[in-house]
Amino acid sequence: MSDEFCDCNITHKERIEAVRSKLPQEEILYDLAELFKVFGDTTRIKIISALLETELCVCDIAELLHMSPSSISHQLRVLRQARLVKPRKEGKVVFYSLDDDHIKHLFDQGLEHILEPRGSYHVSA
């Protein structure tokens, strides 16, 4: 066969096709990876974690994380574009808060994985 990407002889064609038919659309998986990528940065996770408590302005967050307002603003833009936070303008000040509560669920679900006791495979060996 010419349409092989792996020179192995042992691939289970039926199993592969069964899985392929059940996979979400390419675009969905791409967007999903993009979403997780946004969570996958220490600065942004800290911002999200802080906004889980209360809304904060850009300078509050900068002060909280000991970082420059500029870098925070850059990261808030990423979070905005991912629909994770929303701004509320009050004069010169912009307050940010979380955009919906899926975010808390995602965050907590991640925490559970982090904090759970190690499985047997990883303990031994």
Q: 95 to 124, contacts with DNA by CB under 7 A? A: none
Nearer to its own copies, 74 or 110 (CB): 110
Q: Which residues pair with 73 in a beta bridge?
A: none
CA distance linking residue 51 with residue 56, whole number of Å: 7
Please tell me whether residue 41 binds its own copies under the rule CB under 8 A: yes
CB of 77 to its own copies, least distance (A): 14
Stretch that binds DNA, among 18-26, 40-48, 105-113, 116-124 (CB under 7 A): 40-48
By a kind-dependent CB cut-off of 5 to 8 A, residue 97 interacts, out of its own copies, DNA, none, with none
The residues, ordered by sequence, that sit 6+ positions from 99 with a Cβ below 8 Å of its Cβ are 83, 84, 85, 86
Please tell me whether residue 97 binds its own copies under the rule CB under 8 A: no
Nearer to DNA, 96 or 103 (CB): 96
Please tell me whether residue 110 binds its own copies under the rule CB under 8 A: yes
By a kind-dependent CB cut-off of 5 to 8 A, residue 73 interacts, out of its own copies, DNA, none, with DNA
- Angstrom distances, CA of residue 99 to CA of 13, 28, 76, 103, 124: 43, 20, 12, 8, 42
Amino acid at 95: F
DSSP class of 66: T
